[in-house]
Amino acid sequence: MNPHYQHLYDILAHSQGYIFPNEIDLQWGILIVVYPFITGLVAGAFILASLERVFKVKILKPTYQIALLTALSFLLVATLPLISHLSQPQRAYEIMITPHSSSAMAIFGFVYLWYLMVVLLLEIWFDYRHSMVVWANEKKGVMKYVYKILTLGVNDISPRTLKWDRKLGYIITVVGIPSAFILHGYVGFIFGSIKANPWWSTPLMPIIFLFSAMVSGISMVMLIYMVISWFRKKAIEVNVLDSIGKFLFFVLILDFTLEGLDQIQRIYEAEESFEIIKLLVSSKLYLTLFVSQGLIGTIIPLITLAFLQFYKHQIRLKKTIYFIIGLLVLVGVYSMRWNVVIGGQLFSKSFAGFTSFKVGLIGLDGTLMAAFWIILPFGILAFLLWLLPPWKMVEPEE
Amino acid sequence: MKFYIPPQIPRLVIAFAIFISLFLVARHFLVPDTFGKYGHYRAASLIDNANPEIHYAGQQACFDCHQDIEDLKAKDVHSDIHCEVCHGPGEKHVLSSEAADIFKPSGREFCGSCHALNAAKPKSAIFQIDLNKHNVGKNCNECHNPHQPWEMKK
C-alpha cells in the first residue's frame, strides 16, 4: 500500500474513541513547537535588554548587547522552522511579499519586517556605531571595509552626534518594547483566535505566550552570559545573576499566575469541552504539562529562585544553581509550547476521542530538523559576537 | 536658529529607501503572475487544486471487472461500504490490473478498526466485538467473508 495510507492506518490503530477523519494525522508537528519557542526567545531577550536601557537597570549592563545579539540571532532563524514544516522552500518567501491584514498568518510579513528592520537592526546599529567607526579605523584589510559598510558611512563621532546615537537608540527601544509585545502576542493570537479549538481559544493566550516568552528569553540570556564569560575566562558577576534571577522570579510568578488563572477559569466554567480536556491533561499531556512544564519548569525554579534571593554563601554553588535553573526554565517553556501546539490537536473536536502523535526523526518535519533550527541561532550568535564583540566596545565619554 | 538634523538620519533614510525600493523590485518579479486576479491569492492555484493527482477510482470502476464481488456485497451488511474503504485507493490498480497495486487487508486489528468494542460508538450503529474474547487466535476471514460477513464459512 502507498506509504501515506499505511501511515494513516498505523495511527488509526492508535486512536481512541471517536475522531473525525481529518484529525487522524496532526497538521502541525514539532517544527510548529519550535517556532513559538524561538520567537519567544527573541521577544524575551529583547525585553531584558530594554530593562537596562529604558528602566536604567545599570547592573544588567554586561548583558545588554548579549541580549540584543541573541534576539537578532534567533529572529533571523524564527521563520525557518515554518518553512521546513511547509516543505515548500521554493515559495516560502511569498508570505513576506504578499502581506495582508485580513488573515492572522498573512500579516506575518509586516510584523516580522517591522521588528527586524525598524527595531532590532536599528537599535544595534545606534548602539554599535561609535565602536564600528573606531574599529574601521583600527582594522586592516577586508574587516576595515566591512565595518565601514556597517557604519553606512556615518563616521562622525563628535560628542553631539554620539549623543544623538543614544537619544535615537532610546526612542527605538521605547518603540521596541510594544513591538516585542506585539511580535510574541501575535504568535499567541494565532492560537488564541482559533475558536473551534477549546484548548487554544482564550483571549489570555497572547498574554500567556508573552510572559512565557519573557521567562524563556531571560533564562536564555542568563545562560549565554554565563557561557560567554566561561569561554572568555572572565568571572561571572554574581550581582548580575542575582538581578537577572530577581526579574526571572517576578516574571515567572506572573506567568504562573496567568496560566493558573486560565486553567481555573476553564475548570470553573466547565464547558462541554471540559471533560475531554480533563482527560487530555491527565493522560496524554500528563508528563509534559504537570511534570515538565509545571514541576520542572515552574515550581522548582520558583522555589529555588526565591531561596537564592537570600542565599549569600558559596558563590560557586550559587552560579551552578542559576545555570541549572536557566536550563530547567527553558525545558519548561519548551514543554508549554508542546502542550499548546501538540495538545490542541490530540483530542477530537467531537470531544469523544483522541488521536496520537509520534514525532519522526528525519525529514523536513522531524526531530533532527527541529534540533538544527534550535542550534543554528547559536552559530549565528557566535559569528555576531566575533563581528561585534560587546567587550571591545568603545565606552562613550560622559 | 537653524534646525539641526543629526547626520545619522539622512543616511538611514537613504538606506531604508534603498531597502524598500529593492523590496518593491523583488516583489514585482517574485509575486506570481496570476496573484490578485480574483482576490488576495494566486488565481492559478484554483487550476492546481482542481487537478490533483487521482488516487481513488470509485467503486463502479471496481465492479466493471469484479461483478462477482458486487453480487456478494449486495446481499449483506457491507453493501454500503465502498470497496476503497478497506482496499485503499485503487486508481493505480484500475489502470494496471496488477494484484500488487491494490491493498488486501487481513488481520484482526484491521477489522477491529471499525468493529472493536468502543464505548464512544453506539452499538445500534455498528456491530462490535471484544477482540480480546471473540475467537482469540483466529483471523476474521477464517469464518467471515468480508464481502458478505454473515454468510459464515463452513
* Tens of pLDDT, residues A61-84: 889 999 999 999 999 998 888 888
Whether residue A353 and residue B19 make contact (CB cut-off 8 A), yes or no, is no
Least confident interval from A81-85, A105-109, A261-265 = A105-109
B31 vs A13, A97, A100: nearest CB: A97
Q: Distance, in angstroms, between A394 CA and closest chain B CA? A: 18
The pLDDT, as a whole number, for residue A75 is 92
The pLDDT, as a whole number, for residue A8 is 73
Reply yes or no on whether the pLDDT at B94 is more than 90: yes
User: In chain A, what percentage of residues exceed pLDDT 70?
Assistant: 98
Residues facing residue A353 across a β-bridge: A17
- Within a 13 Å sphere around the CA of A375, how many CA atoms are in the beta-carbon half? 6
Which chain B residues touch A5 with a CB distance below 8 Å?
A: 88-89, 103
The pLDDT, as a whole number, for residue A309 is 85
- Per DSSP, helices labelled H in A139-201 are 142-150, 159-192
Give the separation between CA A112 and CA A76, rounded to whole angstroms: 10
Give the separation between CA A342 and CA A325, rounded to whole angstroms: 25
Residue B134 identity (one-letter amino acid): H
Which chain A residues touch B45 with a CB distance below 8 Å?
A: none
Determine how β-strand A353-354 pairs with β-strand A16-17.
Answer: antiparallel
Query: Is residue A233 assigned to a domain?
Result: yes
**Nearest chain B Cα to A153, which residue?**
B11
Mean pLDDT of the residues in chain A? 88
Reply yes or no on whether the pLDDT at A398 is more than 60: no
DSSP-based three-state secondary structure for A239: helix
The pLDDT, as a whole number, for residue A117 is 82
pTM above 0.90, yes or no: no
pLDDT tens column, A282-317: 988 899 989 989 899 999 999 999 988 887 778 888
DSSP-based three-state secondary structure for A155: coil
pLDDT-based confidence at A195, cuts 50/70/90? confident
The pLDDT, as a whole number, for residue A153 is 85
Reply yes or no on whether the pLDDT at A92 is more than 80: no
Reply yes or no on whether the pLDDT at A396 is more than 70: no
CA diameter of chain A? 74
**At B84, phi and psi to the nearest 5?**
-75, -5
Give the long-range contacts of residues B69-72, CB within 8 A, separation 24 or more. Answer: B69/B147, B72/B145, B72/B147, B72/B148
Task: Tell me the average pLDDT across B46-58.
Answer: 90
Which chain A residues touch B26 with a CB distance below 8 Å?
A: 97
pLDDT tens column, A218-243: 999 999 999 999 999 888 888 889 88
Structural domain for A288, as ranges:
27-341+359-392
Query: Is residue A398 assigned to a domain?
Result: no
Give the separation between CA B43 and CA A302, rounded to whole angstroms: 53
The pLDDT, as a whole number, for residue A118 is 85
Mean pLDDT of the residues in chain B? 89
> Residue B96: CB partners within 8 Å, gap ≥ 6?
none
Task: Tell me the average pLDDT across A248-254.
Answer: 93
Query: Is residue A22 assigned to a domain?
Result: no
Which chain A residues touch B7 with a CB distance below 8 Å?
A: 154, 156, 161
Neighbour-count burial for B32-55, b at 16+ CB within 10 Å, e otherwise = eeebeeeeebbeeeeeeeeeeeee
Q: Where are the domains of chain B?
A: 15-50, 59-142
Is residue B113 within 8 A of residue A9, CB to CB? The reply is yes
pLDDT tens column, A375-391: 999 999 999 999 999 98
Among chain A, residues having any CB pair with chain B shorter than 8 Å are 1-2, 5, 9, 12-13, 17-18, 93-94, 97-98, 100, 102, 106, 117, 122, 126, 129, 152-154, 156, 160-161, 164-165, 168, 352-353
pLDDT-based confidence at A2, cuts 50/70/90? low
Q: Who has greater pLDDT, A57 or A223?
A: A223
Task: Tell me the average pLDDT across B85-107.
Answer: 89
**Nearest chain B Cα to A348, which residue?**
B120
Query: Is residue A271 assigned to a domain?
Result: yes
Q: Which of A7, A8, A9, A10 to mutate to test the interface with B (most CBs of B within 10 A)?
A: A9
Enter the ipTM.
0.75
Whether residue A18 and residue B113 make contact (CB cut-off 8 A), yes or no, is no
DSSP-based three-state secondary structure for B35: strand
The pLDDT, as a whole number, for residue B1 is 58
The pLDDT, as a whole number, for residue A23 is 87
